[in-house]
Amino acid sequence: MTTAETSTAAARFLADAKRPSVRLDSYNRYVLPDPMTGKERAWTRATTWAGAVKETWALSRWSRRMAAHGLAMRPDLIASIAVDVSTFGAGQFDDRDCKPLDEAIVQAQGHAGATSAATLGTVMHRYTEQLDSTGEFPEVVPPPLDRDLAAYATTMERHHFTPVAVERIVCVPELGVAGTLDRVLSRGDAYIGDLKTGAKITYGWGEIAVQLALYAHASFMWDEDRWEPMRPVDQQRAVVMHVPIGSGRCDLYWVDIAAGWETANRLCGPVREWRTRRDLATKIDGEDSWAPSPPAAGATTGASPDATARSGASAARPGNERTEWLSARLQALAPSERGRFLVGQRWPEGVTIKPPWTSEDIDRLASVLEGIERDIEAPFGPNDPTHELPEAPRIAVEPIERVPAWDVADDGVQAPDDDVATLTTYLSFFNDAQRATLLRWNQEAKREQRAFDLPMTRRTWACARAAMGCAAHLGDDDRTSRALTYVVGGWGEHWTVGVVLGSLNLPQAEALADLADGYAAGDEQARMIIDPI
Enumerate the domain spans of the chain: 18-51+137-266, 346-380, 417-530
Distance CA 290, CA 175 (A): 45
The DSSP secondary structure of 216-256, one letter per residue, reads HT-SEEE-SSSEEEPPP--SSEEEEEE--TTS---EEEEEE
pLDDT at 60: 59
Q: Please, which pLDDT band fits residue 225 given cuts at 50, 70 and 90?
A: confident
Across the range 393-403, mean pLDDT stands at: 59
Distance CA 318, CA 502 (A): 50
Helices 320-333 and 359-375, axial angle in degrees (round to 10): 30
Sign of the torsion formed by the C-alpha atoms of 387, 390, 391 and 397 = negative
- Residue with more model confidence, 465 or 73: 465
Helices 114-134 and 57-73, axial angle in degrees (round to 10): 120
C-beta atoms surrounding 236 within 10 Å: 15
Name the phi and psi angles at 33, rounded to 5: -70, 150
CATH of 18-51+137-266 among 2.60.40, 2.60.120, 2.50.20, 3.90.320: 3.90.320
User: Cβ distance 263 to 272 under 8 Å?
Assistant: no
The residue type found at 267 is L
**Helix, strand and coil in the chain, % to nearest 5:** 50, 10, 40
Distance CA 352, CA 532 (A): 45
Strand 189-196 vs strand 237-242: parallel, antiparallel, or unpaired? parallel
pLDDT at 129: 93
- Cα 243 to Cα 113, 144, 183, 196, 425, distances in angstroms: 18, 12, 15, 6, 38
pLDDT at 481: 92
C-beta atoms surrounding 485 within 10 Å: 16
pLDDT at 18: 43
DSSP element (H, E) containing 181 = strand 177-187
- Cα 12 to Cα 16, 26, 110, 211, 490, distances in angstroms: 6, 26, 17, 30, 65
Distance CA 132, CA 520 (A): 43
User: If you ran DSSP here, which 8-state letter would residue 389 be given?
Assistant: -
Q: Please, which pLDDT band fits residue 7 given cuts at 50, 70 and 90?
A: very low
Q: What is the mean pLDDT of the chain?
A: 79
Distance CA 405, CA 166 (A): 39
Distance spanning both ends of the chain, measured CA to CA: 81
Distance CA 500, CA 450 (A): 9
Q: Please, which pLDDT band fits residue 8 given cuts at 50, 70 and 90?
A: very low
User: Global pTM?
Assistant: 0.49
- Residue with more model confidence, 122 or 108: 122
User: Cβ distance 380 to 343 under 8 Å?
Assistant: no
